Each structure stands twice: as C-alpha cells, then as structure tokens.
Structure 1
Amino acid sequence: MTDRKEKDELLGASSVAVTRGGASQGPVDDAPPSYTLSAENGPVQPNTLLLAGTTIYSAGAAASPPLYEVSFAIGHLRESNTTVSLSRFDHVVRATEQQVSVPRVSTRKKHIYDLKRALASRLTNPTFMYFLESQSRGTMGHFGLKTHRHRFGTASGYRAYKASRPRPHADLEPQDIAFVAKDRGKGRYEWRDGGSDGEKRLVAHETSENGIYKLQVVVPLSQRERDALVALWCLHLWWEIASANVEPMSWEQGESRLRPSVLLDPVH
C-alpha cells in the first residue's frame, strides 16, 4: 500500500502551466522500474471518470488514486488560453527478489497530450480551432475537434478527427473520424466510435451538471484509446465552457467600435 509520504507527493504533483501563445514543452518520461505490472499490459475495463478541479479520478472507488491530471482547471479556461497539458498517472507494482511477498506500489506521471486552441489573431482560419498534440510515442497521435451540424443547420455535436502535419509547423490536416460526440441535451453527450457514418460502437456517456463533469466509459478500451478519449473529453469541455464564459462587450467597447462609422457619416 502507498504510505502517507507517497500520497502527499502524488496529490501535490505539479504539471506544465497554461501558456498563452507559447510553445509547449516536450515529453519527459521517467525510466521504468526493473519489474512492473501496469494497466498498459491489457484493456482498461469500463468505469466512470470524475473531473474534479485539475484531477481525474475513478468515481466508482472510494479514495481512489488519481488517474489523470490537467495543468489548469478546465472550468476556469477562457478562449484566451492556448495550451493545457494532460498527464497520466501510472501506478506501478515494483517487486524485487527480496520483496516478492510485499510488492511496493509506486506512481509515475507521464505527459501524454497537449490540449490546444488556435490563436484568435491569426490571419488565416486554421482547420481546427481546438486540437490535441501528442506528447508521447505511446498515444494514438494528433487529433482535431470540429462541431458537427445536421443538414438543417442545428448543432448535433462534435467530431474528433485523427490528424497529421504534412510538414513541420504546418496546420494539422484531418484524416479519419476517430470519435463522435452526439449532443443529447442538458449537458449530456454520447461518445461513439467514428467512421464514415459516425454510428458505430457506443463508447461512453458524458454528463455535466452543476460543475460536476463525468465520463462513463461503457466498453473495455486499450490504454491508448482511453487516453485519447479522456483528452478529447477535456478538450470538448474546454470548448463548451470557454464559449459560455465569453464576457459580454462593455458599453465603452461597443461605442469605440461604432465611432469610426459614425465619423464617416456625411454631415448634412
């Protein structure tokens, strides 16, 4: 079992700070222990994830250790923020020849994705306003998120595309649809596998109510799939919350925008 000192270190773990327009830092992975048993060796079973502040826990286990951490509380993000890092906690069982009967659980934090928002001051429109940049070779790669609308113009949710860069520093270009988030109303979304029709396997249910954010994963997923799904869930929440948190224009701002057109009006 983890002693008190290890718990304090785990709960006090720091992450990469939110940047405004700056470049993200590359991944730094700890060296693996000599003997390990971790979730990466098999599928991750269905469970419900709870986002509380900057930490993501399993909601089904009392006093469960954290599973993921974002570098800034999603609920406080605005459209002016540009980068948030997502790290995964790997809880590893260490055993030595002298401690076979009493294995020791240790925790490693691994930077897996950067959640990104394109700069609003750009002259050209990017393909994705919100996207994921992989920070580890073990992930499914880059992703871009787009809103999806019915042919009648009403919003129906989001589509997450696998994405790639044709050359360094170029914008991400969309590839296949990886996941689809369907809007079910009242802060509820249904996440499914992607594809040409976006009507494949049901993967998870998302709920947002009174500042409580949950993702109920209903099928076994590989570690890479769950990492991508969790990152896209956080990215989608950022988009939704930032859009809702846009402050209304003040009277002074509105007046300053109208003043040039008023000055150009002919005097009769």
Structure 2
Amino acid sequence: MPDVEEPDGTSPPSYSDACQPGQDIIPPATLVLDGQQIRKDAAPEDSPPLYTLSLSLSGVSAITTEVELSRIEPRRAGPGRERHIYGLRQMRMAVGHHERVPSESPHYYIQRASARVPGPAGVGVKKRRSLIPGRPAKNTAVPVDLSGKSSEFGIPTFHKKADALFANNGRKWTTCPQGEVVALMPDDKDASRHTLTVTVAMPRAQFEMLVALWCCHVWEFAVARAPKIHEGMDGVARKLRAARE
C-alpha cells in the first residue's frame, strides 16, 4: 500500500499569491475620479478607494511635473496600505531652446515605480492630429526610452520600433493592434466628473497601466482648461529683476 502524505497543516496559497504579479484578472468596472481618490462608481461612501493620487488633478498647474499613483491594498484591520505603482509625468514645455517638447518625446507619460510593476518601464502618449476637421485626434500609448540617450536634449523619447499598447480617439480606448474597445469615457468635453468605464476583464498589469494613462488624460484635460494667467509688464519686470539677482 503506497504511503499517504500527511498534511503539514499549511493552507494552500490564495489566488492572488499564486498568480504571477499583475496577472490576476480584474473584472469590468466603472471608475470615478473623486479628488485624489479613484473609486468604483456607485460604491458605498465608506468603501475604501481602489487607487489614490498624490495631488488632485483638477488643481495641478502647468508647472507641475509629477503626480504619484498608488494602489490601495486592503488589510484585515485598519486602513489599506498604499503601494506606489506609477509616476505620472508632464514634460515641461521649454526644453533647451525649444518652446515645445520635441515630437519624438512625450508631453505626458507614465513611469513604473519599480521593476516589480510588470510592463514597460515607461509609456508615453503620442499624439497624431486628424486631417479631417471635427474628427478627434488619435493618440497612442507607446513605450518610452527613459534613458534620454536617443535625445539631443537628454530627455525621454518614444521607442522608435515599439508597437503601441493602447489607442484613444477622445472617447474610446482600444488595444493595439487588435482594435478591441476596452474602455469608454463620457462624450462631454466640459465634464467636471471624470469616469472610465472598463468594458472587458483584463490582467491587473494591463488594467493599471490603462488607469495611469487615463489619469494622464485627465491631467492634460485640466491643464488645457485652466484659466490662463497674464502677468503683464509688472510680472515680466519682476522676473527680470529676480534673474539679475
């Protein structure tokens, strides 16, 4: 009779522990940005958020260059633990003697917090203007070389031969190159309530990359619609005095 292996008293690993990092499947959901927190839409008010931002995107200015995105990991007791997963970055407009960011570099991009976060180290938003009046531009999310070695100015650039990961035409988010619609945003350019409806189940790594890119979209939206401040000659003179000092 074969020997029977006695149980050692340990329980099998949980599903999340058994999965490779970022491979657990996240079901479809509608996310809403509430100040610095990202929650499931229609969730109870006392329910913990899914993610949190280091700054409210509605209050950031054109000179803000980085916002941190963290996942809220629930605990059995007490508040959840924040785990930094992505840095959202805005490239400043003035690079060297140029007024605008060079076309080979992203104006907005995400950078993973550590090598433990699956996927490319950086992903940037690459813009392509529509030649048809009234049709929204098609933006793509392309891996970014963060080293700056390919840039005249030593700044991050798009990987030249990398395939796009997502595309966005203003309302729909699709995968590349398949073109599958994976998320929708409200068709309201003046929306004060930002939501993202993820329409398909996807691995956590892909889901969180999409969330980070959506946050960059909201950030750009907020900056573009922020009141423009005109300092006048007094402001210019003050800056000149400060530069001389």
Q: Shorter-chain TM-score category?
A: 0.7 to 0.9
Letter in structure 1 aligned against 2:165: A
Q: Residues 53-202 of structure 1: matches in 2 within 5 Å? A: 53-63=35-45, 64-91=47-74, 107-123=80-96, 125-126=101-102, 127-137=105-115, 138-141=117-120, 142-152=122-132, 155-165=136-146, 170-174=155-159, 175-183=162-170, 189-195=171-177, 200-202=179-181
Query: Any idea what SS the aligned residue of 1:75 has?
Result: coil
The aligned counterpart of 1:100 is none
Gaps of 5+ in 1: 1-34, 94-103, 184-188, 257-268
Q: CA RMSD in A?
A: 3.0
Q: CA deviation at 1:43?
A: 0.5
- Tell me whether 1:222 sits opposite 2:203 in the alignment: yes
Does the CA-based 8 Å contact 2:148-2:157 persist in structure 1?
no
Q: Which residue of 2 aligns with 1:206?
A: 185
TM-score norm. by structure 2 comes to: 0.72
Count of matched residue positions in the alignment of Structure 1 and Structure 2: 205
Shift of 1:122: 1.5
* Residue identity matched to 2:158: E
Deviation, 1:170, is 4.6
Which of 6, 27, 50 is 2:32 aligned to?
50
Instruction: Indicate how the Cα distance of structure 1 residues 50 and 80 shifts in structure 2: closer, same or farther if over 3 A, else same.
Output: same
State the match for 1:7 in structure 2.
Answer: none
Asked if the contact 1:45–1:220 (Cα under 8 Å) also holds between the matched residues in 2, the reply is: yes
> In 2 relative to 1, CA 223–190 (structure 1 residues): closer, same or farther, beyond 3 Å?
same
Distance between the aligned counterparts of 2:184 and 2:36, measured in 1?
20
Distance 1:238 1:244 in 2: 10
Q: Is the 8 A contact 2:144 2:156 kept in 1?
A: no
SS of aligned partner of 2:80: strand
Q: Is the 8 A contact 1:112 1:139 kept in 2?
A: no
More off after superposition, 84-93 vs 148-157: 148-157
**Contact 1:148 1:155 survives alignment (8 Å):** no
Q: Which amino acid aligns with 2:54?
A: S
Q: Distance in 2 between matches of 1:193 and 1:162?
A: 14
Residue aligning to 1:23? none
Q: CA deviation at 1:240?
A: 1.4
1:8-27 alpha-carbon deviations (Å, 9 max, x no partner) = xxxxxxxxxxxxxxxxxxxx
Contact 1:113 1:134 survives alignment (8 Å): yes
Within 1, Cα distance between the matches of 2:54 and 2:23?
27
Taking structure 1 as the reference length, the TM-score comes to 0.67
Offset of 1:160 from its aligned partner?
1.2
Q: Percent identity?
A: 24
Q: Would the aligned equivalents of 1:140 and 1:224 in 2 still touch at CA under 8 Å?
A: yes
CA positional deviation for 1:74: 0.6
| Secondary structure of residue in 1 paired with 2:74 | strand
Deviation for aligned residue 1:210 = 4.4
The answer as to whether partners of 2:141 and 2:166 remain within 8 angstroms in 1 is yes
> Take 2:86 and 2:163, find their aligned partners in 1: how far apart are those partners?
19
